[in-house]
Amino acid sequence: METLIPGLTAALIAFVWGALSIRLGPRWGFVDLPDGDLKTHQIPAVPLGGVGIFLGLHLGLATAGRFLLVFFAGTLTLLMLGLVDDRQGLAPVTRLLLTATAGGVLAIGERDLFWGVALAVVVVVLVNAVNLFDGLDALAGSTTTLSLLGIGWLASNRGRGGLVAFTAALAVVGFLFWNRPRARVFLGDNGAYLVGGTLAYLAIRISNTVPQALVAAALIGAPLFDLAVTVLRRYRAGAALFAGDRDHIYDRMLGAWSPGRVSGTLAVVQAVWVVLVVWLESTFGPGSAATIAASVGLVAALVLARR
């Protein structure tokens, strides 16, 4: 019951915002039009999903009497940065510096300098991972929902609660109603930055040791794996690391499958991975779990990056 009311509140608010944003987005100049190149969706969509997730998450937590000032400030910074990027675009270096700044806001009050720097770095990595993985209807939303549920599960196993993670997961579920194929609302950069930053914050906050943090980060799964493959592939090809393309894992799968089937299949794979990682930690401990997860991910990324 402790997580049920905040979670349902978060889902309802994100759902209602989705309906409102379909009307408000065009008036405010937030419409994502298909272009047949990087934007292959079928109908115009409103990239304001992050606003609903943000409102749902923090208002949901408020129903449980939880207001986390640093978390609120950091996620608000990421949300606003994403809205600016959605509206007018930001240069890659500017985006990198500003996301690192937002990570620094989230790191305020961390246990020591090491964990503060670690959090800022993880924010930058996961913001980009989620953003790059947001290329198909329901793809980033479904996989990050599973990551958040996994982190909540892990937090509960470690005696750290899990309220924030479960509330965030249900906020994304509320958004997913409007993001299912054919999507009318997208995460947008604002949603990708918000969800990526939230995942980074939680991965560090529920961890007391580096192996525990690595296990929590491994739960990000598909978005993090796709980022690794993309960076390795672009590095080998001598291509710009921050340039957009349609050669991600999900793009390659589109050659044989429909967008809905690709998103659904990757969500199932993500679910299996999340369960596996949590089981590894509970069975073998965080050190072994982190080693196994990192080894599997690295080998698979190196193999796929060569194709």
Query: Running DSSP on this structure, what letter comes out for residue 183?
Result: P
Contacts of residue 300, Cβ cutoff 8 Å, sequence gap at least 6:
225
Tokens for 204?
């560090």
Residue 112: Cβ within 10 Å count: 8
Q: Please, are residues 112 and 63 in contact by the beta-carbon 8 Å criterion?
A: no
Average pLDDT, consecutive stretches of 10 residues, N- to C-terminus, the chain (307 residues): 88 98 94 68 86 98 95 97 93 91 92 93 96 93 98 94 96 97 94 98 96 97 94 82 77 87 96 97 96 94 81
DSSP state of 45: B
- Residue 245 phi/psi, 5° resolution? -155, 175
- What letters, b where the CB count within 10 A reaches 16 and e where it falls short, cover 147-180? bbbbbbbbbbebebbbbbbbbbbbbbbbbbbbbe
Residue 144 has which token pair? 């990050």
What is residue 46's DSSP assignment?
B
Cβ burial 1-11 (10 Å sphere, 16+ → b, else e): eebeebbbbbb
pLDDT in tens, 159-202: 888 999 999 999 999 999 999 988 999 999 999 999 999 999 99
Q: Model-level pTM?
A: 0.95
